[in-house]
Amino acid sequence: MQKIVRIIEDCRKVDNPATGNLGIYEGDFPRTVFVKNTDGSAAEFWYEGWDKVNAEWKIPELKRGEPRPEGRYWFINTNPRIRLEDGSYIWGDECWWSDKVEADVLELQKDVDFFREVYAAMLLSESK
């Protein structure tokens, strides 16, 4: 059964935002690759094209459930992919979305605003 979701807020900078539209949650798909370096630093790359980058670097992949290797390693970050009514896609990290389809968008926006305030407070406390 397909899961229908509502886009509460489209955070992309596009001419025709998907805010308020319905879409179909298609599952979590590879979105980015997180690379942990030996010195403790980290970097993130788009999943598309990662094979070409790693062909040169030859960094081992960390698979779920495996112990973290010494040195450099990488793993895939997945992200929800939502197919919109016009056939285009929006990723979960590009919008706020909910499976409460019957709820009013303005009501759902209150939840988004609350989480933004909590996140801002977390960032503030971590910076001290």
Residue pair 82/90 in contact by the 8 Å Cβ criterion: yes
Q: 47 φ, ψ to 5°?
A: -60, -45
The identity of residue 78, as a single letter, is T
Structural domain boundaries enclosing 112? 3-127
Q: What is the pLDDT of residue 32?
A: 94
Residue pair 71/61 in contact by the 8 Å Cβ criterion: no
Number of domains in the chain: 1
| Euclidean distance between CA atoms 80 and 117, whole angstroms | 23
Q: What is the pLDDT of residue 106?
A: 63
Provide the whole-model pTM: 0.69
pLDDT tens across the length of the chain (128 residues): 688 998 989 999 999 899 988 999 999 999 999 999 988 899 999 999 998 889 888 999 998 888 888 889 999 999 999 999 999 999 999 999 988 776 566 666 677 677 677 767 777 777 76
